[in-house]
Amino acid sequence: MTLSSNDTFSKKLALLGIPMDLGAGRRGVDMGVSALRNARLAAALRALGHTVQDLGDVPVRIAETMDALEQGGLVMLEPILEACRAAYQRLSALPEDVFPICIGGDHSISLGTVAGTAHGKRSGLIWVDAHTDFNTPASSETGNIHGMPVAHLLGLGDPKLSSLAGGWHIRPEDVVMIGIRSVDPRERELLLEHRISVYTMKEVDQLGMTRIAAETLEKLGGLEKLHVSFDADALDPSIAPGVGTPVPGGLSYREAHLLMELLSESARVTSMDIVEVNPILDVQNRTAQVMVGMAESLLGKRIM
């Protein structure tokens, strides 16, 4: 047996909450921010030797105070833009030696978090999710923006969403998706058109997570920044029941931890999202606790 050191290089971590469920069709993920804090996310990371500053939450409008009218095929466009701009501004103002952990909230928060943590530089995006979230207003079957952030980060779709960070965009070759098992038909066409690297659960079963992690890091080699955006529904619902869009057949507990551990060992990840935790649908805050464990593994926790 090969033993590895428990010692990790201490990082400066910053937690930023974006308590938003405006991009989703099912309510409750706005409370995921509190659920993750209640699961002692900050304390767990401090126990690994990191310094942790909780920056609080960005302001998000409350859905019940507004009419949920579509704007160009997009539900809640303006308040989502407001929250994502606020997240972008808070994150882009942080020193570059800070490792931000952005907690949501639905996955539309990534429009602001991925752009904000990039600091205008070329960045790799590791999208761990049951869904590719590569819809545009023209391809979406629902108009829910939490199914669209990756396409807009590439500069596609609605001009307001795709220009949130000015002229900065992710390059298609700098995106890797892992754990995918639910893709809309027109979304699939867009993924193929832009040649996005996608590891479905079939590839996870066939190749194994060690190979997938190695191929991901090789593909994104040379990039100064890597952002991990982890949707709780990437995990199988038996492990993470508290999500709004559960899809059977997801990542196992060990597969997900192994991915985080291998990414941690690379020492190349510079920021993270934790999204789509819905405590209304959860059992004794289990999903938030599991996701805290994923953050611990990415930030250096080892058994031996």
What is the rounded distance in angstroms from the CA atom of residue 76 to the CA atom of residue 74? 6
Residue 9 lies in a domain: no
What is the rounded distance in angstroms from the CA atom of residue 232 to the CA atom of residue 278? 9
Q: What is the pLDDT of residue 302?
A: 82
Ramachandran category for residue 263: left, alpha or beta (phi over 0 → left; psi -120 to 50 → alpha): alpha
Residue 5 lies in a domain: no
Residue 8 lies in a domain: no
Per-residue pLDDT of the chain (304 residues; tens, 9 = 90+): 333 444 457 899 999 999 999 988 788 999 999 999 999 999 999 999 999 999 999 999 987 777 655 566 688 999 999 999 999 999 999 999 999 999 999 999 999 999 999 999 999 999 999 999 999 999 998 999 999 999 999 999 999 999 999 999 999 999 999 999 999 999 999 999 999 999 999 999 999 999 999 999 999 998 999 999 999 999 999 999 999 999 999 999 999 999 999 999 999 999 999 999 999 999 999 999 999 999 999 999 987 6
* Token code pair at residue 137: 């207003």
Shortest CA distance to 117 belongs to which of 228, 254, 213? 228
Q: Please give the positions annotated as active site.
A: 107, 129, 131, 133, 146, 231, 233, 276
- Structural contact between residues 76 and 37, judged by C-beta atoms closer than 8 angstroms: no
Angle at 95 between CA 93 and CA 101, to 5 degrees: 80
DSSP structural state of residue 251: B
Q: What is the largest CA-CA distance in the chain?
A: 60
Q: What count of other Cβ atoms lies within 10 Å of the Cβ of residue 9?
A: 8
Q: What is the pLDDT of residue 74?
A: 87
CATH number at residue 60: 3.40.800.10
* Token code pair at residue 224: 């100064």
Q: What is the pLDDT of residue 75?
A: 85
Residue 82 lies in a domain: yes
Q: What is the pLDDT of residue 7?
A: 47
Residue 94 lies in a domain: yes
Q: Cα 187 to the chain's mean position, in Å?
A: 19
Domain of residue 65 covers: 14-298
Q: What count of other Cβ atoms lies within 10 Å of the Cβ of residue 92?
A: 17
Single pTM value for the model: 0.95
Positions of E strands within 19-167: 51-57, 70-71, 74-75, 98-104, 123-128
Per-position DSSP letters for 159-223, written without gaps between them: HHHHTTTTT----GGGEEEEEE-B--HHHHHHHHHTT-EEEEHHHHHHH-HHHHHHHHHHHTTT-
Q: Look at the chain and report how many structural domains it folds into.
A: 1
Give the Å distances, CA to CA, from 130 to 50, 127, 187, 291. 30, 9, 14, 15
What is the rounded distance in angstroms from the CA atom of residue 240 to the CA atom of residue 55? 26
Q: What is the pLDDT of residue 3?
A: 36
Residue 30 lies in a domain: yes
